[in-house]
Structure 1
Amino acid sequence: MTKTKIKPVMNLPDEYEVFDFSNGYDPEVMTRFVQSGGWGVGGYSEKRQNMYLAPQYENRRNIHMGIDVWAAAGEPVFAPISGEVAYLANHEQQGNYGGTLVLKHTLKGKIYFALYGHLSPESISHLKPGLKVEAGEKVGELGAEEENGNWPPHLHYQISIEDPGEADMPGVVSDEELEEALKHYPDPRILLGEIY
């Protein structure tokens, strides 16, 4: 049996910041950070204070179910292993994902659905559900703030063990939803590797 070689989802440099938003978040600081060429990673299952203030979060959904990679708009994102395009959407609502892609992968006999949020809608416009992608293939680019839900540019990467049925997954959940969410949305380092 051949071992699946997992490719990087982004071109992370050798050195980058690992952020902890459990004590707060400042969007202006993050915007300046990525505009200056900074790279950073934000964690999985992290309870984040004062970050999810758009109405749909009801000021209670604040536990992060993906991993973020912060970088400049236009940075490419890649498929870590071969798979196929499952779903595409553009979630334009304030605080939402903007351009969104879900790829379906099989790894060690298990099926995973991987969501890429905050992409440039233009960068994924050539993709169609059912299209096969190869490991390491470019599948999109990070979107600018005005097209990715008004977030400083970053990739929200989340995996699900169940078919989400659309290009969407709850990127943050409440305390009451956490136990169930952890069963459905495992740690994305299964496909990202140990990036922190």
Structure 2
Amino acid sequence: GLDLGGPAGTPIHAFAPGAVSCITVNDEDGSYGPTLITKHAVRLPITVGGPLAEAATEFWVLYGHLSWDSIAHWSPGDTFGSGEVLATMGEEHENGGWPPHVHVQLSLHEPENGDLPGVVKAEDREAALALYPDPRLICGPLY
């Protein structure tokens, strides 16, 4: 996944049209806090900043460390358009105990229980890279 910092209340916009898959609170200390998972079927770039693939890919995006008030109105199946505000970054007291930021993670498999592993063991790296594409494919070449 990718962590993007900003002030609490910073809006998180949809990179493409999609649908809400899950709304939850991962309330373990140090976890994602309020979490929104969206589902998409769009053509992704083949490489970060590169040309788009010919076929659409179905995938999910986990947005973590959000403000609960900003996601409480969503329900699974709700649809949204490109550029629509999905949520806002949460305060440290509600977002899992972190300075305000958003965690963005892609998955080729539907997340179970509103969660994805934010980190994996070194020996699981290759398998994780196959399941969880680089979030810069939707965020752009940030580095």
- Alignment TM-score, normalising by the size of structure 2: 0.89
- After superposition, residues 113-132 of structure 1 pair within 5 angstroms as 113-132=60-79
* Residue in 2 that maps onto 1:80: 15
* SS of match in other structure, 1:123: helix
User: Does residue 112 in structure 1 map to residue 59 in structure 2?
Assistant: yes
* Residue in 2 that maps onto 1:150: 97
What CA RMSD, in Å, does the superposition of the two structures yield over aligned residues? 0.9
* Residue in 2 that maps onto 1:67: 2
Aligned residues: 131
Structure 1 position 165, deviation (Å): 3.1
Given that residues 88 and 166 in structure 1 are in contact (C-alpha distance below 8 angstroms), is that contact kept between their aligned partners in structure 2? no
* SS of match in other structure, 1:145: coil
> What's the CA shift string for 1:35-80, capped at 9, x where partnerless?
xxxxxxxxxxxxxxxxxxxxxxxxxxxxxxx111101111010110
> What's the CA shift string for 1:78-103, capped at 9, x where partnerless?
11000000011011111000010001
Which range moved further: 165-174 or 123-132?
165-174
User: Does residue 190 in structure 1 map to residue 137 in structure 2?
Assistant: yes
Matches of 1:94 and 1:166 in 2, distance apart? 17
Any gaps of 5 or more consecutive residues in structure 2?
44-55
User: Does residue 89 in structure 1 map to residue 24 in structure 2?
Assistant: yes
Code of the aligned partner of 1:86:
S
Code of the aligned partner of 1:96:
S
Any gaps of 5 or more consecutive residues in structure 1?
1-65
Structure 1 position 120, deviation (Å): 0.7
* Residue in 1 that maps onto 2:53: none
Matches of 2:69 and 2:59 in 1, distance apart? 25
Matches of 2:124 and 2:38 in 1, distance apart? 24
Matches of 1:122 and 1:188 in 2, distance apart? 25
Higher relative contact order, chain-length normalized (CA < 8 Å, sep 6+): 2
User: Does residue 162 in structure 1 map to residue 109 in structure 2?
Assistant: yes
Structure 1 position 175, deviation (Å): 0.9
- Alignment TM-score, normalising by the size of structure 1: 0.65
User: Computing the radius of gyration over CA atoms, which structure comes out larger, 1 or 2?
Assistant: 1
* SS of match in other structure, 2:65: strand
Runs of 4+ in 1 over 4 A off after TM superposition: none
